[in-house]
Amino acid sequence: MLLLFLSILLSVVLLLNFRLFPRYDINTFQAIVFNYTVCFLTGYALLPAGQTFSVDFSQTWTWLALALGVGFILTFLLSGVSTQRMGITATSLANNLSLVIPVCFSLFVFGTGSKQFDALNYVGLVLALVAVGLSTYKKSAEPVEGQPSTRRLGAGVLLPVAVFLCYGTTNTMINYMNLRYIPTTDKTVQVTLTMVLGAIVAGYIMLVVRLVQGRETFQAKSLVGAVTLGVPNFLSFYTLLLALSAFGGNGALVYPLYNIGVILVAALVAALFFQERLSTANKIGLALAVLAIGLISWQELIG
């Protein structure tokens, strides 16, 4: 349980980084690009003794992992912008409720799953979608502290929705790759580092293009942001894997607890340290999010 709690805290730290970057004038885009290099170095340092990292371009999963890395950095960029414009709570809700997408694909497309969904499970899926909508609803377009004006905030409501779709898509692709190309767990670290490598390549290409176009100027502060972002970024995933192992690989139990934990801790941190004000609709969305995840996995939670 300690490992699961650590993973939850580290995941919230990622959102805290995004929220604090503007305050310290750290370039979010550059911090995200460089953070994947820090992720790679952190993961490489944690390789078990005797294991080395290599890229085998003859394997289909290698190309899929590299492509997923590109998806990761795009999703991370969206998450950063969403956190800064729409707040920690709405973004964490969108992120964690995205589990609906891989769950639906597992049930109806991949034909996997060790249980039969009942009426409560399906109600949970529907409530999760409703929760995303309510959590991003803005009655009046009051900008988040120091953030865009009324007109731009209206478009910003779409950001958590984009985060929801992107996280759900990447997680679905990870599930597909695991089912189709990686039947054993001995390649987990290799696959993870390959994904990170894809994000590194894509990130540096985007950065170089923007530098050449004059849209970016290198900021040394972004390297500091890369460290505070990259270390918890990798460790949150790493501790989640360790938690899964500690619970006997019972992802049906671990993931709901993880998602509920991130949503609640993120909302608490946002309220205490950033005075993020939630409307009645937002609060209902928050409650529905917890209820939705509970209903989706009620069999495992009570078992």
Question: What is the chain's mean pLDDT, rounded?
Answer: 83
* d(C-alpha 41, C-alpha 195), whole Å: 13
| pTM across the whole model | 0.82
Tokens linked to 229: 């972002």
Residue 4: name the closest of 160, 236, 169, 208 by CA. 236
CA angle 123, 124, 127 (to 5 degrees): 85
How much is the average pLDDT of 138-165?
62
Residue type (1 letter), 61: W
DSSP string, 222-256: HHHHHHHHHHHHHHHHHHHHHHHHHTTT-HHHHHH
In the predicted structure, residue 139 carries a pLDDT above the cut 60: no
Alpha-helix residue ranges (DSSP H) falling in the chain: 2-20, 28-45, 60-86, 88-97, 100-108, 119-135, 150-156, 158-180, 188-212, 221-246, 251-274, 280-296, 298-302
- The predicted-structure confidence for 76-134, as pLDDT tens digits, reads as follows 999 999 999 888 888 888 888 887 887 778 777 776 655 677 888 888 888 888 887 78
